Chains A and B, each alone.
Chain A
Amino acid sequence: MQKYSIFNLIKNAFSGHQNWDLAWKDPTPKKEYDVVIIGGGGHGLATAYYLAKEHNITNVAIIEKGWIGGGNVGRNTTIIRSNYMYDDNALFSEFGMDLWRKMSQDLNYNVMFSPRGIINLAHSDAQMNVFARRGNSMRLNGIDAVLLNREEVKEIIPMADFSDNVRFPIFGGLMQPSAGTARHDAVAWGYARQADSMGVDIIQNCEVTGFDVVSGKIQGVRTSRGDIKVKKIGLCVAGSTNILAEKLNMTLPIETHLLQACVSEPVKPVLDRVVTFGAGHFYISQSDKGEMVMGGDLDGYNSYAQRGNLPTLQHVLTEGIAMMPFLSKLKMLRTWGGIMDMSMDGSPIIDKTHIEGLYLNCGWCYGGFKATPASGWTFAHTIAQDRVHKLNAGYSLNRFNTGHLLDEKGLGTKTWIS
C-alpha cells in the first residue's frame, strides 16, 4: 500500500496525480473465510481492521449491501465524547477517546479529529446539580470535566441567548474539553484502506439473504453474490439488525427508528465548540466548511425510510433557535435521515449470542459514530477470543433478562418527550 505522505504527494504531483493506487480493492467473494463481518459501516470496518491488527486474523470479509460510507457513518453529526456517568459507558468511551487521538497516525489517514470540547447546557439549579454529579463521576474515571457557571458559558459561547426574557435561561453547563468532532467519511475510508491493505476483502453491493446454522452453530452465510463458508460471523448492521435477526429467528430488544440531521448554509467561523441544549434534545457544531451541523430527536415511530418528516425537524430547530437566536437567519442547506438501532435502555449490545459463532454488535442509538474505534476494538476481541472483553462486559444481551440495564439517560426507543 502506498503511504500517504508529503513525499508521495510531491512525487505523484509530477504525474498529475493519475497514478495513485485505489484506496481499497473490489474483490470477488471467496468460498470460505475465517470471519465474515456483515455491515461495512464504521463499526464493521473498524472491527475488521482490529481483527487484522490486534489478532492477526486477516482471512476476513466485510459484506456490505450498499457502498462504503453510505450508511450511518456518512449520516451522523460527527460528535466524539465520553461524558458518561456510568462506569461501563465511561470506561468504554474513554478507551475510545484514546483511539481517536491516535487515529490519524494509526491509519495514515487524516480523520481531522478536532478536540474542541463539548458543552451540555443546564437550564435550572436541579440540572446543575445533576451535571455536577456527572462531572464528578467522569473525573473519578479519569475523564476531563469542567462545571461552568453562567458567566463562564457566556464567555465561551456569547452568541447563545443570555437575555432575561427566555423560557429556558442558561444556568451553566458541563464541559468535556477533550471531546470534539472528526471527519466521518475519512474515518470510514481510513479504516477501509488499512483493513484492505492487511488482506481483508471489502465486498460491496452484496446483500445477505440467509444463514446456514447447523445444530446451533454458524456454518455459512448466503449472499446475493454466492454462498460463503464461515464459522464466525459478526453482525454490525445498525438499523438493519432486526431484518437479519429475523432470518436467524431471533427477536432483539431493538427497534429501528429514524433520526434526522441537517446543515445550514456555510457561514464564517462563529462556533468553536459542540453545544447541546439542556431543555430538550438539540446539538450543534460548526464544520470546517462553515456549515452549522445540527441534530436532535428521533422522528418517533418505527422506520426504515432513511428520510424524515418536517414536523420533527421544525421541533428540533425551534429548540436551536431558542438556544442561539441567530440560527433563525440561516438557510438550511441539506437535511437527511439515518435509521438507528434503538435499544430499550439506550445503551449498545456487543456480545456473543446463543448461536455459536454469531456475534452481535448493535443498539447504538444516538451515539454510534463516537464509539466507532472502541466498538471495533472490543468487537474484534469478542470475535477473536470468543469471549467479551471487560470493556464491553456491561453491553451484554442478557442484561434485559437479568435487569442489569444501562439506562444512562433514560433514553431508549422513545423520543425525549412524547
Chain B
Amino acid sequence: MLHIKCPHCGMRSQNEFSYGGDATVKRPELNKEVSDQDWNNFVYNRKSLRGKHKELWQHISGCRQWIKVERDTATHEIFKTVKANEEL
C-alpha cells in the first residue's frame, strides 16, 4: 500500500487516489504553430524514468484536488508531495 501525503488533507492511503501520469509533460502553447512532432511528444511520448519520477495524482476520494508527487519508480518510495500549482 502506498501512503501519499495530500498537501490539502494529510497522509492517506493509495486507494483514495487516481494516477495522472508524468507531471513534466507540457501542453504546446496556444496560438502558436505546433509541429506534428511536438504534438506527438505531448500526447504520446514519455520518458518513463526508472528512479525519481515527478507525477500527477488526483485525490479522487478526498478533496478531489490534483497534486504533484515525486516518487521512486523502482522502490515506490515517495519523497515529496506539493499542490498542483507548486514546483516539486
Q: Is B31 an interface residue (CB 8 A)?
A: no
Residues in A neighbouring B43, C-beta threshold 8 A: 344, 400
Number of A-B pairs, beta carbon distance below 8 Å: 71
Q: Is A114 an interface residue (CB 8 A)?
A: no
With the chains together, A243 CA to B76 CA distance in Å?
17
With the chains together, A304 CA to B49 CA distance in Å?
9
Q: Is A104 an interface residue (CB 8 A)?
A: no
Q: Is A82 an interface residue (CB 8 A)?
A: no
Which one, B2, B36, B45, B50, contacts A243 given CB within 8 A? B50
With the chains together, A301 CA to B14 CA distance in Å?
11
- Sample 19 A-B pairs with CB under 8 A, ordered by A number: A243-B50, A251-B41, A251-B46, A251-B47, A252-B46, A253-B44, A255-B46, A256-B50, A300-B19, A302-B48, A302-B53, A304-B73, A309-B1, A309-B76, A310-B1, A344-B44, A400-B40, A400-B43, A400-B44
Given contacts A303-B76, A400-B40, contact A253 B45 (CB under 8 A): yes
Residues in A neighbouring B14, C-beta threshold 8 A: 309, 311
Asked if A256 and B48 make an inter-chain contact with CB atoms under 8 angstroms apart, the answer reads: yes
Given contacts A301-B19, A303-B76, contact A401 B40 (CB under 8 A): yes
Q: Kindly supply a per-residue 1/0 record for chain A positions 242-282, scoring 1 wherever the CB is within 8 Å of any chain B CB and 0 otherwise.
A: 11001000011111100000000000000000000000000
Residues in B neighbouring A22, C-beta threshold 8 A: none
Q: Is A372 an interface residue (CB 8 A)?
A: no
**In chain B, what residue has the closest Cβ to A417?**
B18
Q: Is A418 an interface residue (CB 8 A)?
A: yes
User: What's the nearest-Cβ distance from chain B to residue A239, in Å?
Assistant: 9
Q: B residues bordering A, Cβ < 8 Å?
A: 1-2, 13-15, 18-19, 21-22, 36-37, 40-41, 43-50, 53, 55, 71, 73-76
Q: Is A166 an interface residue (CB 8 A)?
A: no
Asked if B74 and A254 make an inter-chain contact with CB atoms under 8 angstroms apart, the answer reads: no
- Range of interface residues on A (Cβ < 8 Å): 20 to 34
Given contacts A251-B41, A344-B44, 20 further A-B contacts (CB under 8 A): A243-B50, A246-B47, A253-B40, A253-B45, A255-B22, A255-B48, A256-B48, A256-B50, A300-B18, A302-B21, A302-B53, A302-B55, A302-B73, A303-B73, A309-B76, A311-B1, A400-B40, A400-B45, A401-B36, A413-B21
Asked if A256 and B73 make an inter-chain contact with CB atoms under 8 angstroms apart, the answer reads: yes
With the chains together, A209 CA to B19 CA distance in Å?
31
With the chains together, A251 CA to B40 CA distance in Å?
10
Asked if A305 and B75 make an inter-chain contact with CB atoms under 8 angstroms apart, the answer reads: yes
**In chain B, what residue has the closest Cβ to A314?**
B15
Q: Kindly supply a per-residue 1/0 record for chain A positions 277-316, scoring 1 wherever the CB is within 8 Å of any chain B CB and 0 otherwise.
A: 0000000000000000000000011111100011100000
Q: A residues bordering B, Cβ < 8 Å?
A: 242-243, 246, 251-256, 300-305, 309-311, 344, 400-401, 413, 418
**In chain B, what residue has the closest Cβ to A418?**
B18
Residues in B neighbouring A242, C-beta threshold 8 A: 46-50
**In chain B, what residue has the closest Cβ to A307?**
B76
**In chain B, what residue has the closest Cβ to A413?**
B21
Residues in A neighbouring B18, C-beta threshold 8 A: 300, 418
User: DSSP class of B's interface residues: helix, strand, loop or mixed?
Assistant: mixed
With the chains together, A251 CA to B50 CA distance in Å?
14
Given contacts A309-B1, A311-B14, A418-B18, contact A301 B55 (CB under 8 A): yes
Asked if B50 and A304 make an inter-chain contact with CB atoms under 8 angstroms apart, the answer reads: yes
Residues in B neighbouring A309, C-beta threshold 8 A: 1-2, 14, 76
With the chains together, A356 CA to B76 CA distance in Å?
37
With the chains together, A401 CA to B44 CA distance in Å?
9
Residues in A neighbouring B49, C-beta threshold 8 A: 242, 246, 302
**In chain B, what residue has the closest Cβ to A241?**
B48
Asked if B45 and A251 make an inter-chain contact with CB atoms under 8 angstroms apart, the answer reads: yes
Residues in B neighbouring A344, C-beta threshold 8 A: 43-44
Which one, B19, B45, B76, contacts A305 given CB within 8 A? B76
With the chains together, A254 CA to B50 CA distance in Å?
13
Residues in B neighbouring A302, C-beta threshold 8 A: 21-22, 48-49, 53, 55, 73
With the chains together, A225 CA to B63 CA distance in Å?
52
Which one, A253, A303, A311, contacts B46 given CB within 8 A? A253
Which one, B19, B22, B48, contacts A254 given CB within 8 A? B48
**In chain A, what residue has the closest Cβ to B44?**
A253
Residues in A neighbouring B2, C-beta threshold 8 A: 309
User: What's the nearest-Cβ distance from chain A to residue B28, in Å?
Assistant: 15
User: What's the nearest-Cβ distance from chain B to residue A402, in Å?
Assistant: 9
